Amino acid sequence: MAFHDHKDHKSDHKWAVADIPDQTGRTVVVTGANTGIGYYTAAELAFRGAHVVLAVRNLEKGNAALARIVAAAGRKSIDVDVTLQELDLGSLASVRSAADALRGRYPRIDLLINNAGVMWTPKGVTADGFELQFGTNHLGHFALTGLLLDHLLPVRGSRVVTVSSLAHRMWAAIHFDDLQWEHSYSRVGAYGQSKLANLLFTYELQRRLAEAAAPTVAVAAHPGGSNTELARNLPRIFAPIKAVLAPVLFQGPESGAWPTLRAATDPAVEGAQYYGPDGLGEQRGHPKVVQSSDQSHDADLQRRLWAVSEELTGVEFPV
């Protein structure tokens, strides 16, 4: 169930990566782990003993990220256990293939972090004909979660963490009359739709998990203003503004990973919570429980999007 008035259990404490408990024995899958927030999320979890699977579209970049994590661990004089899994969230065939491989390799999964995404892309479609941002950011993760969930459900303390964005508030709506933006296209609007969908999905998943009395919880996070490769499709008109404001508003991907890491590891986390930075406008700072839009808590919208997502992906959940 989604709540509007979550309390931060450590409101008087500025959470930092030093607060991440030992992750030894946990199996973690992180999508988009080869760069940016996903990379730092995966690295910190590996440094604390988790077996981390870097689920990436480009295996060459994935191998480079794995090598970076191993090298960084070597400088810390610690051993890490990191592997690769090919995953293209823009292809349901790839999602099914990756899920089959992960299910065969890992009888239990403790943590799934739905991190990968594309942002403000020119108009395009996925391999299955879905609008690129909605298909990748929402439908790909929806399908992956549904296909892996039965390997999380028996695991006490297991979590599904989905990364949303402040953009879920900006020009954001679920355009059921034109989900794939075939009649008109706004790269900003399409991104906002996909990020709102991430939250609607999280809250509906948590409702279903709670009704099933499952030990798994679904939570969400957003990085605030984070200076990563994700913004490479920023319209040119905004480039001068970004150059001026970036040092003030944006934090690096290492800090941008903090809300995800807290959502993934803090023992006090509850289902349907949403973590973001504690600074002005939630742009930067230490992670805390924040509020998402009223629209994201619309139960009818959550259920309607869920039904459409099942129909489009062909994936039904075990809860």
Q: What percent of the chain has pLDDT over 70?
A: 88
- The catalytic residue among 39, 40, 191, 274 is 191
Contacts of 67 (CB under 8 A, 6+ apart): none
Give the pLDDT confidence of 17-47 residue by residue, as tens digits. Answer: 999 999 999 999 999 999 999 999 999 999 9
Model confidence at 158: pLDDT above 60: yes
Active site residue 106: no
The C-alpha R_g of the chain, in whole angstroms, comes to 18
Quote the CA–CA distance of 82 and 52 in Å, as a whole number.
5
The pLDDT confidence band at residue 225, using thresholds 50, 70 and 90, is confident
Predicted local distance difference test score (pLDDT) of residue 129: 98
Write the DSSP string, 164-191: --GGGGSS----GGGTT--S---HHHHH
Domain chopping of the chain, boundaries: 18-226+253-313
Quote the CA–CA distance of 303 and 316 in Å, as a whole number.
13
Predicted local distance difference test score (pLDDT) of residue 136: 98
DSSP-derived secondary structure letter, 251: B
Identify the CATH assignment for 18-226+253-313 out of 2.40.320.10, 3.40.50.720, 3.40.1050.10, 3.30.56.10: 3.40.50.720
Predicted local distance difference test score (pLDDT) of residue 80: 98
Over range 144-150, report the average pLDDT: 98
Model confidence at 75: pLDDT above 90: yes
Give the pLDDT confidence of 245-299 residue by residue, as tens digits. Answer: 555 566 889 999 999 999 999 999 999 999 999 989 999 999 999 999 999 999 9
Q: Which amino acid is at 211?
A: E
Query: Collapsing DSSP states into helix, strand and coil, what is residue 51?
Result: strand
Model confidence at 198: pLDDT above 60: yes
Model confidence at 130: pLDDT above 60: yes
Is residue 269 within 8 A of residue 262, CB to CB? The reply is: yes
Average pLDDT score, the chain: 92
Q: Where are the alpha helices (DSSP H) in 76-186?
A: 92-105, 132-133, 141-148
Burial 241-271 (b: 16+ CB within 10 A, else e): eeeeeeeebbbebbbbbbbbbbbbbbeebeb
Predicted local distance difference test score (pLDDT) of residue 234: 54
Q: What percent of the chain has pLDDT over 90?
A: 86
The pLDDT confidence band at residue 170, using thresholds 50, 70 and 90, is confident
Model confidence at 175: pLDDT above 60: yes
Over range 117-130, report the average pLDDT: 97
Over range 79-86, report the average pLDDT: 98
Predicted local distance difference test score (pLDDT) of residue 305: 98
